[in-house]
Amino acid sequence: MPPLDLPNLGHVPEHIAIILDGNGRWAKKRGLPRLFGHQAGTQNLRGIVDECAGYGIKYLTIFAFSTENWKRPPDEVSGLMALLEDRIEHWLLQLHDHGVQLRHLGHLEGVHSRLAEKIQNAIELTRNNTRIVLNFAFNYGGRDEIVRAVQHMIEDGLQSWEITPERISEYLYTAGQPDPDLIIRTSGEFRTSNFLVWQSAYSEWYFTPVFWPDFDELELRKALEFFAKRERRFGKVPEQVTTTAG
């Protein structure tokens, strides 16, 4: 499908984040084990990354595995870890060749050393790529991120008067990146699920009933069209936004 007519679209977000939800229900609907849904979801991701890069989106953040997901059935968790390891092996060089820079949001404590090493190697290999940044939120929780940021500020000896919104942002996993302009959640759920708690303060949210494995290029277009129609005020009144834009 050809890309959107960008002049008619108006503008595209610089940073999109996606909660990849509905893999298990997608599989259940087809009488398949949940892991089949996760496999379909990972296959779908590759095309969406390319589509986003084609629109000129500079940052794409995906919520793949939260700090709470460890509570899922052990066989599902182990299957997800094996699937992630397999996808890194098969896609890393291809992503690298396409100019994708991989970054990890979250921490690797408790993650198997072999998988942790592959994640770190992927980050190192792609660190100089500039086409699009793919933030991989794995073993990530928004509240946990803020707690760790505060802990690191204390360790660095910051005084209370030095703690500002800008300084806190410097201690988050997304330091140096713009906050997401648009956050998409698939599967019909209307929850933020502890995702980018700090960074999403002024994000536009787009909820779709489509399960993640079925979220294709057309569905991405719909989300971008939704975003293009939004008036982003950041606390201002409409007249101020119009004046600034003019």
Annotated catalytic residues are 21, 69
Q: How many CB atoms lie within 10 A of CB 198?
A: 16
Helix (H, G, I), strand (E, B) or coil at 187: coil
Residue 91: CB partners within 8 Å, gap ≥ 6? 46
| Residue 66 β-bridge partners | 140
Hey, what amino acid is at 232? R
Phi, psi of 62 (to 5 degrees): -115, 135
Q: Please give the helix or strand (H or E) that residue 72 lies within, else none.
A: none
Contact 28, 215 (CB under 8 A): no
- Alpha-carbon 67 to chain mean position: 15
